Chains A and B, each alone.
Chain A
Amino acid sequence: MKILIILILSVFLLSGCNNKTIKGEKVYVYNWGEYIDESVLKSFEEDTGIKVIYEQFTQNEDMYMKIKEGGSTYDLIFPSDYMVERLIEEDMIQPINMANIPNIKNIGKEYLNMEYDPEQKYSIPYFWGTVGILYNEKLVDDKVDSWEILWNKKYAHKIIMMDSTRDSIGIALIKNGFSMNSRNLKELEIAKKDLIKQKPIVRAYLVDEMKGQMVNNEAALAPAYSGDAMDAMSENPDLKYVVPKEGTNLWFDAMAIPKNAKNVKNAEKFINYILEPKNAAKIAEYIGYSSPNTEAVKLLDEEIQNSQVAYPDLSTLGKLEIFKNPRDINSVYSEIWAEVKAADF
């Protein structure tokens, strides 16, 4: 009995360590890894006297789990399009008071009121891009203009696929002429079979390590986010990026304020600060992704402004689709991916 009491007491003791006393103004920011120029964080702290507590995640689902489980509260998060949709649906983020963010005027109209947040109430676009094929000119002698090439046996063990449920299934769907947001079980079955068929020639399923593999000429072909492609191409001149003719996924990463945020005012100040053209340009230059901040883009190097990888003329690309939250069919997507991963090769 005594032991039980001690036990219960110690559990309480251990869990009591959480209540920190808060002194001074703070803002808790939860962003993707390597997704901001940290000098902007410093200058924000100096200009406003608000301390930034900055943490990083590697994928939307990680971030989602962390918010859902509670435990830690963040004031500002950076979810992607379909995740914004999911967070709105599950009532996990709050409407943003746009009156406190005058710098939203710097965002190009074409990046606002997207399907994932039609009234632009909950989110503010941070970066955007496409998904295309990053390939090594020296290692590929066919013309790269279609997703089909990722199934070409000639390049066995030189193809890297994305270790990402949505992206990989999306590619298999659009390759067959279906929507990347397909909810049709027959179409999804075809996509699954295609991915299993492809597995023997896939070198590896990677996300972050893909860049290193391509830069070091270890692999020849890989689907890539345009921002990653820009980065890899700057390190290896043999690399080229192409958006396949079948079309692709247009993606957005946005800023949002979780429901349980404690320092909403500070989060708004932070958003407004990084929407300032000179700050936004600094960040865009540092991470190399495409900024929706049209005023900031004007401050970038001409070469980047005219780059067809970073700032393509969207009207020249094929079908562009933004991912939607698959809601009830989420488990079908994970099941398909589990079967692909478990398949022999």
Chain B
Amino acid sequence: MRFRKLAYPYIIWISIFIIIPIIMVLYYALKSGEIAGFTLDNFIKFFKSINLRVFYNSIKIAFVCTIVCLIIGYPMAYWISKLSLRKRSIMILLVILPMWMNFLLRTYAWMNILATNGIINNFLGLFGMEPLNLIYTKGAIIVGMVYNFLPFMILPIYTVIEKIDNSLLEASADLGATQMQTFWKIIFPMSLPGVITGITMVFIPAISTFEISALLGGNKINLIGNVIENQFRVVGDWNYGSAISMVLMAIILIIMMITNKFDSSEEKTGGGLW
């Protein structure tokens, strides 16, 4: 019990850097330029405006990005966990390595790869092909997002699979299960906490990003992050910008609650966010 005191700095930290800012955002969201007192005007304005469509587009793109990350990330995490210890460390290092570099730089690198006179089109040119229109498309945004957020999918899944007790797999083999059956009946259900963490960790940054859509999408496809950025930086309507941020936070919270529902395992295997 006496260790409880040690948590105070943490409580102060959380209050200053998380709770107070959120309260401030909420306060701004409930205020409107001319009107005294609180109002829901900013929220009403949002749900009536074209930005609702932008929001829908953002969810769609973030969803596609998460699915692609899962399709690539799960087999990769599974494969890495089956390697020998030495190879495993190298592979994990390779997954983390790109994250050491600033993610804007990595996105700029993708601009060079996808450009009309870029690496891919130069390569296709060798075979006499016309340059493809790769950059400034929805596809380019997805590629940029998947590249940037894939490690957040691989790592939690890997951590969970790696911790699965080998004796369970041996028991399963003893009882005559095929490898396929072992995977679907044992490994997959046990890896779900990692999958859910991965989905959350990819979906949240993907839905709120604004640099990737600006750089690789050529500002043609506005995501909700761009709209919020624009409200704060250019239009100067902090109240409206805060209201959109609150809606975004609410949606993320709902999604987290839904994914949490699927995470039914009583005992956490570690590596999960919750």
Contact = CB atoms under 8 A, between A and B. Distances in A.
Interface of A: 3, 6-7, 10-11, 14, 59, 61-62, 64-65, 68, 157, 163, 165, 199, 202-206, 216-219, 334-335, 338-339, 341-342, 345
Contacts of A339: 50
9 contacts: A6-B12, A65-B232, A202-B220, A203-B136, A204-B135, A217-B117, A338-B49, A341-B54, A342-B53
Contacts of A219: 116
Nearest to B16: A10
A61 B236 contact: yes
Contact of A205 (B50, B135, B220, B234): B220
A105 to B, nearest CB: 37
Given A341-B54, A341-B219, A342-B54, 4 more contacts: A14-B16, A204-B218, A205-B219, A341-B220
Contact of B50 (A163, A199, A342, A345): A342
Of B53, B115, B234, B236, chain A has the most CB atoms within 10 Å of the CB of B234
Interface string B234-265: 11100000000000000000000000000000
B220 A334 contact: no
Nearest to A11: B16
Contacts of A6: 8, 12
B51 A338 contact: yes
B115 A62 contact: no
Contact of B16 (A7, A165, A342): A7
B39 interface: no
Contacts of A341: 54, 219-220, 222, 226
Nearest to B19: A7
Contacts of B135: 204
A127 to B, nearest CB: 22
Nearest to A334: B235
Contact of B219 (A204, A217, A334): A204
Given A10-B12, A157-B133, A218-B116, A68 B218 contact: no
A339 B50 CA distance: 6
A59 B54 contact: no
B233 interface: yes
A216 B115 contact: yes
Of B12, B219, B233, chain A has the most CB atoms within 10 Å of the CB of B219
B227 interface: yes
B101 interface: no
Contact of A61 (B11, B49, B57, B234): B234
Contact of A62 (B11, B54, B234): B234
Contacts of B20: 11
B51 A205 contact: no
A247 to B, nearest CB: 26
Given A7-B16, A65-B233, A338 B50 contact: yes
B12 A65 contact: no
A25 B220 CA distance: 46
Given A218-B115, A339-B50, A345 B220 contact: yes
A64 B133 CA distance: 37
Contacts of B12: 3, 6-7, 10
Contacts of A345: 220
B15 interface: yes
Interface string B41-59: 0000000011101100100
Interface string B1-24: 000000010011001100010000
A165 B235 CA distance: 11
A243 B226 CA distance: 32
Contacts of B49: 338
Given A6-B12, A62-B234, A65-B233, A204 B220 contact: yes
Given A205-B219, A345-B220, A218 B117 contact: yes
A65 B227 CA distance: 16
B270 to A, nearest CB: 31
Contacts of B227: 338
Nearest to A204: B218
A49 to B, nearest CB: 36
